[in-house]
A = this chain, B = another copy of it.
Amino acid sequence: MKLKVIVTPKAAVLDPQGAAVRDAMQHLGMPEVRSVRIGKYLEIELDGDEPGMESRLHRICRDLLSNPVIEDYELKTMSEGGA
């Protein structure tokens, strides 16, 4: 079983890293860039697929992989073999 987790800063939270990348992109010949927001991307491989695993995964996303005060996360199952 393969999962991906995307952790992004909440819309109301400043993202200085994203602002720096936006400015750099504008200077590197892309003045059309309006905004950039940067988050984390995790690919997780698991053995097995038990019931109850999903809720344990959500708990780990909240407790370990994201900071729920300033970040949102998205948990998706990836098709085997897909990217």
Q: Which residues on A are within 8 Å of B, measured CB to CB?
A: 6-8, 18, 21, 24-25, 28-30, 32-48, 50, 53, 56-57, 60, 63-65, 74, 83
Contacts and interface: CB of A to CB of B under 8 A. Distances in A.
- Which 3 pairs from chain A and chain B are nearest by CB? A41-B41, A39-B41, A34-B45
A21 B42 contact: yes
Number of copies: 2
A50 to B, nearest CB: 8
Contacts of A41: 6-8, 38-41
A64 B32 contact: no
A47 B33 CA distance: 6
Given A28-B64, A64-B28, A45 B33 contact: yes
